[in-house]
Structure 1
Amino acid sequence: MNRILFPVLGLVIFIFGCGNNDTVPNDKSDESNNLETVLDSTEYFEKAIFADASSPTPYWNRAAWHLRNARVREGLFDLDLALEADSTYGPAWSAKADALYLMQRFEKCIEHLDVCLELSPEHVPCKLRRAEMHIHLNQFDEAFSVLNDALRIDDQIAEAYWMKGMIYRESGELDNALSSFQTSVEVNPSFFDGYIALGIAYGATSNPLAVDYYNSAIGLRPRSVEAKYNLAMYYQELMLEEAPARSIALEKALALYVSIIEIDSMNASAAFNSGYIYLEYLQDYENADFWFSEAIVRLPYYHQAFFNRGLARESMQLNSEALEDYNSALKLKPDYTQAALAKSRVLGES
């Protein structure tokens, strides 16, 4: 598949966030002002381990602390200690597999997941990650089997329905994909990825329901570049027969791209797409020139931006500047046929 189904760091946090927090103090105590400092210390975790050295939980908690602070080696060491304390402790197996995934040691990751499922067959995070690995390998039947096992344990797992939807979508079963995505947000109305998936699915057929789903995603994460970008692309690619309606859609797309740049000032794609709208749809070549230039500032090797800026400048009769842009595009991509043809055209007119 083209897309990684789980944001890796997000899943690390998810796995650790689902653990046993019995050793964590109540943050409503009188010492709450010092809680963050206390928790973020070696002393705190060593005391917890000393108090219950035979339990895997305090080692697992310290591993979570290490991994949240990018100390992968220390985190793996503590996960091994957790498994020495209890070799069937599913959270440690799944967390270790996830750390291996972060390190791109995928075969080892799969080995640990298989051990996890053997020793802790009811541990849902291991099932979800194992299903994902099956999907990466296009082993869809195996993925379905693992996901259905997870749903037999807990039929309210939004991620499982979403992953089934992704498999259906890859297999061309769009109705089943939509049904699975819909179920994912029904069981968890705060499930961001489900709304994104629904937006993409409905947007592919220009169904206005896409707007509702993207807006739901934005409501959950107002600063999400992904949700805003997808919605902008929906408006940009919406082919409406009536010119006023088409103009409104393009204005909405442009506003969203500006919003994206306010969130992510180095987002070259938002700048490029703005330029493309001005060039291709609005024939506003000055604004097109401006936004393609902004894209190039953000991504100096953006050969498409040089080419399109060349088109805008050629349309304004700025042939020398256009020629420079076509040459820049060809320098970055020597086999860029469109730029070569445009260069020949400009030279023929000179």
Structure 2
Amino acid sequence: MKIKITYLLIVVVSFYLVSCSGSSSKDDAAKKDSIVSPIELITQQINKNPNIDSLYKQRAELYLAIGKTEKALADVRMALQINSEKTEYHILLGDIYLAMGNIELSKKSLINAFDMDPRNPEPSLKLAELNLFLQDYEKVYLYANKAIEIDNYNAPAYFIKGFAHLEQDDTAKAITAMQKATQNDAEYYDAFIMLGKIFDNKKDPIAGNYLKTAVRIRPESVEAHYNYGLWLQEHGLFDEAFSQYNALLTIDPHNKAAWYNIGYINLVYFENYNKAIEYFTRAIESDPTYAEAYFNRGLSYEQLNQFDNARSDYNKALSLKHNYENALKALERIENK
């Protein structure tokens, strides 16, 4: 199992300073002039106080959050030029280099941070993450264990160890480490999701408890609702599955997988073919290249003896997915109907 490491970025919430004076015909222009972005506000402060290192660090974080890595790099270098003793600046430098794809300089910056402040768990944690990305598992465990030595309740360190064990196909150790993460942080969403998937692969019904907890932790997560909904579906709990998929669709109305799964349940388990057609159609509207949705809508039409519609959908599925065996067999089956 492979993952792509994504470091935490600051979520920038834009805010507005709006002047309410003036006539209604001038309101739009006045509002436009009064909008000040967080970056602009910090830039104004830097212009007034060019030797305050923390301001450059704050602006670098904002630039990094919106993908302007060159500007972020320039700002963190300025912060370091003013004050090179701040561990957090070296960590940020490592994050920026990683975002730029420069693994070696990222690693060097994080090692500098680690050497400067060996009692700070963050450099160890990020070095563990980086080495997980590089699949250098010996170093993953080295740095994760260092983070745990500093803070025995460091849930992310246990999670990273668990992921490394999983990539090395040691499921038992992966479970132990990730359960430790959830014991140390009862709101650790990623660990609950992963444990749910691991136990589901083992056909252990406890998977449902982990996936349900993930939904509780992040009720606005499409991933959480989908994973739990699919688990419920696979265990024949269709009404509960519908509830999860419908919650998902309120968050993401164009989620083709949720529409498809509801259609599939109506087709296969409820034999409600008109409903199935309705939901497969919504899946197709969400993704007009969804071959499986065309095929299953074709099956629904076939069950209703609407053979022309079925034939059309089977042919469309075949055009989207060449040599689609199920579609070929279906076309043969209704050839003379």
Counterpart mapping for 1:216-255 below 5 A = 216-238=213-235, 246=236, 249-255=237-243
Which one is further off, 108-117 or 63-72? Answer: 63-72
Moved more, 131-140 or 309-318: 131-140
Bigger drift between 109-118 and 185-194 goes to: 109-118
Rounded to whole Å, the distance in 1 between the matches of 2:266 and 2:2 is 30
Deviation, structure 1 residue 254: 1.7
Task: In structure 1, list runs of 5 or more residues that go unmatched.
Answer: 17-36, 239-245
Between the two proteins, the alignment pairs up a number of residues equal to 312
The answer to whether the 8 A contact 1:49-1:59 is kept is: no
Whichever residue aligns with residue 40 of structure 1, its letter is: P
CA RMSD of aligned residues (A): 2.6
Deviation at 1:299, TM superposition (A): 0.7
- 1:258, distance to aligned residue in structure 2 (A): 1.3
- Residue type of the alignment partner of 2:74: F
Contact 2:90 2:112 in 1 (8 A): no
1:40 is aligned, of 33, 38, 41, to 38
The equivalent of 1:82 in structure 2 is: 79
Shift of 1:5: 4.6
Please tell me whether the aligned partners of residues 206 and 234 of structure 1 are also in contact (alpha carbons under 8 angstroms): no
8 A Cα contact 1:88 1:119, kept in partner: no
Query: Which residue is 1:20 aligned to?
Result: none
Cross-structure match for 1:197 = 194
Query: For residues 197-216 of structure 1, what are the structure 2 equivalents within 5 Å?
Result: 197-216=194-213
- Matched to 1:279, the amino acid is L
CA contact (8 A) 1:110 1:133 kept: no
User: Which of 290, 296, 300 pairs up with 1:308?
Assistant: 296
Counterpart amino acid of 1:4?
K
In structure 2, give the amino acid aligned to 1:212.
N
| 2:329 aligned to which of 313, 316, 341 | 341
Change in CA separation of 1:119 and 1:134 when aligned onto 2, cut-off 3 Å: closer
Partners of 1:266 and 1:298 within 8 A in 2: yes
Three-state SS of the structure 1 residue aligned to 2:145 is helix
Residues 168-210 of structure 1, C-alpha deviation per residue, up to 9 Å, x if partnerless?
A: 2233322222221111122222211122122222333343433
Correspondence for 2:106 among 102, 106, 112: 112
Q: Work out which of the residue numbers 301, 318, 327 in structure 2 matches 1:330.
A: 318
Report the secondary structure of 1:120's partner residue.
helix
DSSP-derived class of the 2:186 partner:
coil
Measured after TM superposition, the shift of residue 41 of structure 1 is 5.3
For structure 1, which segment, 276-285 or 326-335, has the greater mean C-alpha deviation from structure 2 after superposition? 276-285
Residue among 10, 13, 16 paired with 1:13 = 10
Instruction: Give yes or no for the alignment of 1:132 onto 2:145.
Output: no
Q: Percent identity?
A: 28
Alignment partner, residue 3 of structure 1: 3
Q: Distance in 2 between matches of 1:13 and 1:221?
A: 19
Q: 1:73 to 1:118 in 2, by over 3 A?
A: closer
**Following TM superposition, by how much is the alpha carbon of 1:83 offset from its aligned partner in structure 2, in angstroms?**
2.5
- The answer to whether the 8 Å contact 1:93/1:112 transfers is no
Letter in 1 for 2:127: R
SS in 2 for 1:12: coil
Q: Which amino acid aligns with 1:164?
A: K
1:288 aligned partner, one-letter code: A
CA-CA distance at 1:264 after TM superposition: 0.5
Residues 97 and 110 of structure 1 are in contact (CA less than 8 Å); yes or no, is this contact kept in structure 2?
no
2:140 is matched with 143
Q: CA deviation at 1:339?
A: 1.5
What residue is the counterpart of 1:259 in the other structure?
Answer: 247
1: CA distance, partners of 2:10 / 2:85? 21
Is the CA contact (8 Å cut-off) linking 1:88 and 1:116 kept in structure 2?
A: no
Q: Assess, with a 3 A threshold, how the Cα gap between structure 1 residues 342 and 129 changes in structure 2: closer, same or farther.
A: farther
2 CA distance for matches of 1:170 and 1:44? 42
> Which residue in the other structure is 1:271 paired with?
259
Of the structure 1 ranges 215-224 and 110-119, higher mean CA displacement relative to structure 2 is found in: 110-119
Unmatched runs of 5 consecutive residues or more in structure 2: 13-34
Quick check: 2:128–2:144 contact (8 Å CA) kept in 1? yes
Q: Aligned in 2, Cα 1:274/1:47: closer, same or farther, shift over 3 Å?
A: same
**Does the Cα contact within 8 Å between 2:131 and 2:140 map onto a contact in 1?**
yes
1:67 to 2:64 alignment: yes
- For residue 10 of structure 2, give the secondary structure of its aligned residue in structure 1: helix
Q: Helix, strand or coil: the match of 2:271?
A: coil
Contact between 1:203 and 1:210, CA under 8 Å: does it hold in 2?
A: yes
Q: TM-score, normalised by structure 1?
A: 0.80
